[in-house]
Chain A
């Protein structure tokens, strides 16, 4: 199975390289009287299927090896991320570093009516490179999750109320009390122990990441797709508006993600090494605002 997926990845890589070479060859041939910006638009839309297909193949390869890895080490560390997850996390981070500032410039530059010190097509070019990386990673994450069967960031069916109760334990007391009243959660009930991931990650962070990434991808595809298929003006207008909305939401998500993980250093260590260091998790009282998520940093899975 592993050899089959490896062959699939190699075939995908070969096709992607051939596809990109052909696309760039067409773009540089000068056969079309297009501006740099329009030419880049076509390069991006034509490269998209290759990026998605390669992402699927890489995710399948990573997922096929994920099941065989040990979940704990002798020093008590617990595996939180596989090598594929770490690679994809940093690749999608790079994608955001390229796509987010360039997207903000395109939006704010238009709103504030200011001209960039560099030609606009170069800003779009970096935006497209970042977007291609993000598309590749999303496709890889999805196929990885399917292949490995890893659902640890999802709230299991029928467990939303217990997860909400656990979340209350992780929030500051004043916020938890108000929120529990609104949601009808009984704080006298015992809170469950978190698993590999905190309740905040499972109930708030991951679902909101999924939503904003889906929104930015779908609206971005509509915007990019207008160069190859006719898109009605209203659909394009709505897509553009929602694309900007998703951009603002991603800005907020990145800020919140950094705030959350910097306060819990073992999580930051885990996204570089893959392992939650047990000793550090025990030493540092940063598992959560209160004790509820300590188990998450120790890695006990319930």
Chain B
């Protein structure tokens, strides 16, 4: 059970990391953000980087559970 939850959480983390890519690239390429100004672009960049960092932390924790022997316990 714990491994199933870890797999689902890993998928969630990966989806968030992909989304953070759009936040970060949008900060430089999106015309709407460029029109709104530097603050909007900086927010996209900052938000994207934070989401990527938190996503990576979750992905790392999930991979730790999936690769550890304790991860096979079920309850």
Q: Which residues of A contact B (CB under 8 A)?
A: 104, 108, 110-113, 245, 248, 251-252, 254-256, 258-259, 262-263, 265, 268-269, 277, 280, 284, 286
Contact = CB atoms under 8 A, between A and B. Distances in A.
Interface in B3-55: 5-6, 9, 12-13, 16, 19, 22-23, 26, 30-33, 43-44, 47, 50-51, 54-55
A113 B29 CA distance: 11
Nearest to B23: A108
Interface of B: 2, 5-6, 9, 12-13, 16, 19, 22-23, 26, 30-33, 43-44, 47, 50-51, 54-55, 57-58, 61-62, 64-65, 70, 73, 75
Given A259-B57, A262-B65, 20 more contacts: A108-B19, A111-B26, A111-B44, A112-B26, A113-B30, A113-B31, A113-B32, A248-B51, A251-B51, A254-B12, A255-B54, A258-B13, A259-B58, A262-B2, A262-B62, A263-B64, A263-B65, A265-B75, A284-B73, A286-B70
A108 B75 contact: no
Contacts of B23: 108
13 contacts: A108-B19, A111-B32, A111-B44, A112-B26, A248-B51, A251-B16, A255-B51, A255-B57, A255-B58, A259-B58, A262-B5, A263-B61, A286-B70
A90 to B, nearest CB: 14
Contacts of A268: 2, 5
Contacts of B75: 265, 269, 277, 280
Contacts of B22: 108, 112
Q: Is the interface of A mostly helix, strand, loop or mixed?
A: helix
A262 B70 CA distance: 12
B18 to A, nearest CB: 11
Contacts of A263: 61, 64-65
Contact of B26 (A108, A255, A265, A269): A108
Q: Is the interface of B mostly helix, strand, loop or mixed?
A: helix
A252 B56 CA distance: 11
Contacts of A259: 54, 57-58, 61
A262 to B, nearest CB: 6
A263 to B, nearest CB: 5
A265 B26 CA distance: 37
Nearest to B64: A263
Nearest to A110: B32
Contacts of B16: 251, 255
Chain B CB within 10 A, most for which of A104, A248, A277: A248
Nearest to A254: B12
Contacts of A286: 70
Contacts of B55: 255
